Amino acid sequence: MAEGGRRFFTVPQFATLKKLGAIFVPPLKGNVGAVDTDAPEFLDYLIGVSPAERQTLYRSGLDGLNAQARRQFNKAFADLDNKQADAILKPLLTPVPWVYDLPKDPMKRFVYQVHQDLRTATRNSPAAAAASASSGRRGGAGGGLYWNPIDPV
Amino acid sequence: MATKEYDVLIVGSGHSGGMAANILTKQGLSCLMLNAGPQADYAKDRTNKAVQDLPYRGFGKPGALEHVFQANEFNANQWVDEKENPYTHDPAKPYNWVRVRLLGGRSLFWARQSFRLSDLEFKAAEIDGGGENWPISLADLAPFYSRVEAIFRVTGRKEGWPQFPDGNFIEQTYPPDSKTIQTFTDICKKQNIGVSKMRSSQGQGGLASSINLLIPEAIATGKLDLVANAIVREITVDKATGKANGTHFIDRHSKREMHVKAKVVILAAGTLESTRLLMNSGLANSSGQLGHWLHDQIYGVSVVASVPEAQDGKAGQGLMGGSAFLPRFRNLTKADKRNFIKGYCVNIGSGGSAQPNHFAAYGDELQAKLDHYAGSCVTGSIYGERVARFENKVSINKNILDAWGIPTLHIDVKDSDNELNMAKDSADSIEEIFKTAGWEIVSKTDKFYPPGYSIHEVGTARMGDNPKTSVLNKWSQSHDIKNLVVVDGSSFVTCGWQNPTMTILALSMRACEHLVEEMKKGAV
């Protein structure tokens, strides 16, 4: 089962998100990467049903990266090579000692958030679980006791 | 139910309500317990699921439970629905009100850290001049703490320190400390900082809740009736005597309103729900103090360090692992002058790993860092006391009603420099110890969550000897209406750095035993 196609982001926005997935969460140490797990497609769905503030953070962030790529390299972010993408992204990276105290700068905040979201969407994906199972490794992000709706009104 | 008059009506079924039912029914009193939510069926209501099978891959439903940072996609349905049960606050003054309305309330999910308050808290005004003393001391409450600790099967290591009163603990054998914990302990000792172990309720079967430790014994007496899905709207008063005589409540499903009669009304709905009910009833506020003095504890301050010997996969057993606990070590005497009053505790864990958010890196570079630090980290997590202040308060918002038409709370709380200075001191002090040990600081923050996050909110119906400055007397009875008793955390004068559960339970036990004596004498 795979995620459906793009619904929320524009074509350039989604291409930028997909490029970020390839850069931030590549396949490493035998694990699957963000693109292999449809993490960008999942985030397209998730952000599309999220509160306006989160939608704005994403849309502005993706547009901002694309605009910077055009200014700096005269091409879309999705068409950058990795060295060019690094030149844009690395100045925007910030360590976050505490996850409820995010960077005030909107671009730095977006880059932090999309990085974390792509990691989570990848780790928690059906494709990652399937890849772990097929490799015989203890895998996926695991599970837990899910509380069903309890006697709803 | 419409015609029966109970001896005691108990609103709420968490630790404090469960204790009330347990004590009072054993004394032969007929009790009715009303709980606002349903009773969970653990077999039917919980299912093992893999995270990849959840609709939102573990992110949770966007926009739901925005105030409950503890919520995740697995547990989202255990918390109160914020759309059905709204509250308001100034956007610049966030407050996280974290609620559970299942039978058993928040006693189903607490972290089980089990501490007594000390006279540093009960008599805090004498130490630091902040706020007022409680009308009771540790000596008054100690016998009740001992009985509560026996019921909850509390484990801990006795130390003999006045700031960390020992209790009626189950003896426990601790494995030898890892080298890391030994190093940490040695440095603390040189700084006259006491290092102990966590104290924790074992309960039964992994649960230390009212639903398994308190309510079953009450039901066994045949004296307890229990009604779920009963949302209490108002406490009613006999106009002739001025005494409480029952409550109006609304059935959660049908929204039908009913009334029940009782000789005594006990509120155990949790600090803010009990306060909301008193305010909506227009009772117990001749002092003008009701709803004020809301406080809890600061959570979120932490320091993470990496032990160089344990890096690059060398975090073997003996070097890493284990834990330590530092009870309050600041402001233990009047001579200890700092730029804040009160104190904090520190929970130390050894053997963890760095997290991706600690680094400005991605891809291969990030993975290399995560591998480098894996298993080599020591974390200090800090919990500190917020000062009770009159201006931190709740009020009724008649413009916003809950799903049953009941006016809601507006919460108005703001931290002060005391909290900020305490947080900075705590992060600095732990960083200094870690650096003295020769460890590499990976992450440090002196930021903390909004008020309410700790789920330890207390103080809005504080007890005291003076009816002009307090809502309850030292037996948790309303100064204004003696047959109205509040046994949850709203009676606290100061919260301390300690998890308040043991104190809430001991106060409820003490209040209910006193109530029985008063009822026998005809004084209530």
The reply to whether residue A51 touches residue B63, judged by beta carbons under 8 angstroms, is: yes
**ipTM for the predicted complex:** 0.93
- Cα B395 from Cα B393, distance rounded (Å): 7
Q: Decide if A110 touches B, using CB distance below 8 A.
A: no
Among candidate residues B6, B35, B13, the one with its CA nearest the CA of residue B215: B13
User: Which pLDDT does position B487 carry in this prediction?
Assistant: 98
In a domain, A96, yes or no: yes
Number of neighbours of residue A55 by Cβ within 10 angstroms: 16
Which residue in chain A has the smallest CA separation from B101? A150
Contact state of B358 with A148 under an 8 Å Cβ cutoff: no
H-run or E-run covering B57 = none
Of the partner residues B52, B74, B445, the one whose CB lies closest to the CB of residue A144: B74
pLDDT tens across A98-113, in order?
A: 888 899 999 999 999 9
Q: What is the sign, positive or negative, of the torsion defined by CA atoms of B462, B465, B469, B473?
A: positive
Which domains, from first to last, does chain B contain?
A: 5-42+69-154+207-288+393-412+457-521 (3.50.50.60), 161-202+296-391+413-445 (3.30.410)
Which residues of chain A neighbour B445 with C-beta distances below 8 Å? 97-98, 101
pLDDT score, position A135: 76
pLDDT digits (tens, 9 = 90+) for B131-178: 799 999 999 999 999 999 999 999 999 999 999 999 999 988 899 999
pLDDT at B149: 98
> Could you tell me if residue A51 is inside a domain?
yes
pLDDT, residue B171, reads 86
Chain B residues inside the 8 Å CB shell of A141: 51-52, 58
Nearest CB partner across the interface for A28, out of B57, B367, B403: B367
Between A88 and B173, name the one with better pLDDT: A88
Q: CB-CB: which of A119, A126, A146 is closest to B74?
A: A146
Q: What is the CB-side half-sphere exposure of residue B347 using CA atoms within 13 A?
A: 15
Q: Within 10 A of B189 (CB to CB), how many other CB atoms are there?
A: 11
**Partner residue opposite A116 with nearest CB, options B37, B40, B357:** B357
Across the interface, do B363 and A28 touch by the CB < 8 Å criterion?
A: yes
Q: Is residue A140 part of a domain?
A: no
The DSSP result for B70-137, as a single string, is T--TTTGGGSPPTTTS--EE-TTS--------STTGGGGT---B-----HHHHTHHHHH--S---SS-
Q: Angle CA(B517)–CA(B241)–CA(B231) in degrees, nearest 5?
A: 80
pLDDT at A132: 83
> Mean pLDDT, chain A, as a whole number?
92
Q: Which domain holds residue A99?
A: 11-135
Gap between the Cα atoms of B422 and B426, Å rounded: 6
CB contact under 8 A, A145 and B367: no
Q: How many domains, chain A?
A: 1
Alpha-carbon span B294 to B270, nearest angstrom: 13
End-to-end CA distance of chain A, in Å?
A: 33
Residue found under tokens 């901002």: A64
Q: What is the pLDDT of residue B516?
A: 98
Q: How confident is the model at residue A142 (pLDDT cuts 50, 70, 90)?
A: confident
Which chain A residues contact residue B84 at CB under 8 A?
Answer: 153
Q: Is A138 on the interface with B (CB under 8 A)?
A: no
**Residue of chain A whose Cα is closest to the Cα of B100:** A150
Residue in chain A closest to B76 (alpha carbons) equals: A147
CA B18 to chain centre: 16
Give the pLDDT confidence score for residue A137 in this predicted structure: 64
A93 touches B: beta carbon within 8 Å:
yes
Residues B307-342 have pLDDT tens digits of 999 999 999 889 999 999 999 999 999 888 899 999
Q: Is A136 on the interface with B (CB under 8 A)?
A: no
Q: Which residue in B has a C-alpha nearest to residue A23's C-alpha?
A: B363
Q: Does A54 touch chain B (CB under 8 A)?
A: yes
| pLDDT for residue B138 | 98
φ/ψ of residue A47, rounded to 5: -65, -35
* Least Cα separation, residue A11 to chain B (angstroms): 23
pLDDT tens-place string over residues B206-248: 999 999 999 999 999 999 999 999 999 999 999 999 999 999 9
Question: Distance from first CA to last CA of chain B, Å, rounded?
Answer: 23
Question: Which residue in chain A has the smallest CA separation from B364?
Answer: A28
| Residue A110 domain-assigned (yes or no) | yes
Query: Has residue A65 been placed in a domain?
Result: yes
Distance CA(B427)–CA(B455), nearest Å, equals 22
B47 chain-A contacts, CB cut-off 8 A: 145-146, 148
> Among the residues of A34-124, which ranges form H helices?
39-48, 52-73, 82-89, 106-123
- A135: distance to nearest CA of chain B, Å? 17
Q: Provide, as residue numbers in chain B, all residues whose Cβ is less than 8 Å from the Cβ of A128.
A: 52
Q: Is the pLDDT of residue A138 over 80?
A: no
| Residue A3 pLDDT > 70 | no
Closest by Cβ to B45, choosing from A42, A51, A150: A150
Contacts of A140 in chain B (CB under 8 A): 50-52
What is the pLDDT, as a whole number, of residue A30? 80
What integer pLDDT is reported at residue B127 of this predicted model? Answer: 85
**Measured distance CA(A74)–CA(A68) in Å, rounded:** 9
Minimal Cα–Cα distance from A72 to chain B, Å? Answer: 21
Are A140 and B50 in contact (CB < 8 Å)? yes
Whether residue A144 is contained in a domain is answered as: no
Nearest CA in chain A to B44: A148
What per-residue confidence (pLDDT) applies to B181? 98
In A, minimum Cα distance to B53 occurs at A126
For residue A23, the chain B residues in CB contact (below 8 A) are 362-363
A47 to chain B: closest CA residue:
B62
The alpha carbon of residue A65 is apart from the nearest alpha carbon of chain B, in Å, by 17
Residue A134 has a pLDDT of 81
Quick check: is A33 in a domain?
yes
Look at residues B245, B258, B278 and name the one whose alpha carbon lies nearest to residue B9: B245
Q: Is the dihedral of CA A105, A106, A107, A113 positive or negative?
A: positive
Q: Is B192 exposed, middle or buried (0-12, 13-18, 19+ CB in 10 A)?
A: exposed
A146 domain-assigned: no
Q: B215's torsion region: left (phi>0), alpha (psi -120 to 50) or beta?
A: alpha
Residue contact A150–B53, C-beta within 8 A? no
Q: Phi, psi at residue B344, to the nearest 5°? A: -145, 160
Q: Which of B320, B294, B275, B106 is nearest to B207 (CA)?
A: B106
Of the candidates B180, B484, B457, B438, the one whose C-alpha atom is nearest the C-alpha of residue B321 is: B180
A83 confidence band (pLDDT: 50, 70, 90) = very high
pLDDT tens by residue, chain B, 524 residues: 557 999 999 999 999 999 999 999 999 999 999 999 999 998 899 999 999 999 999 999 999 998 999 999 999 999 999 999 999 999 999 999 999 999 999 999 999 999 999 999 999 998 888 779 999 999 999 999 999 999 999 999 999 999 999 999 998 889 999 999 999 999 999 999 999 999 999 999 999 999 999 999 999 999 999 999 999 999 999 999 999 999 999 999 999 999 999 999 999 999 999 999 999 999 999 999 999 999 999 999 999 999 999 999 999 889 999 999 999 999 999 888 899 999 999 999 999 999 999 999 999 999 999 999 999 999 999 999 999 999 999 999 999 999 999 999 999 999 999 999 999 999 999 999 999 999 999 999 999 999 999 999 999 999 999 999 999 999 999 999 999 999 999 999 999 999 999 999 999 999 999 999 999 999 99
For B77, phi and psi rounded to 5 degrees?
-80, -5
Tens of pLDDT, residue by residue over A32-72, are 999 999 999 999 999 999 999 999 999 999 999 999 999 99
Taking the Cβ of residue A55 and every Cβ of chain B, the question of whether any pair is shorter than 8 Å is answered with no
> Cα–Cα distance between B313 and B371 in angstroms, integer?
8
Instruction: Tell me how close the Cα of B77 comes to any Cα of chain A, in angstroms.
Output: 5
Mark yes or no for CB contact B51/A54 under 8 Å.
Answer: no
Q: Do A98 and B447 touch (CB under 8 A)?
A: yes
* Alpha carbon separation from A108 to A13, A34, A91, A103, B444 (Å, rounded): 17, 20, 9, 6, 19
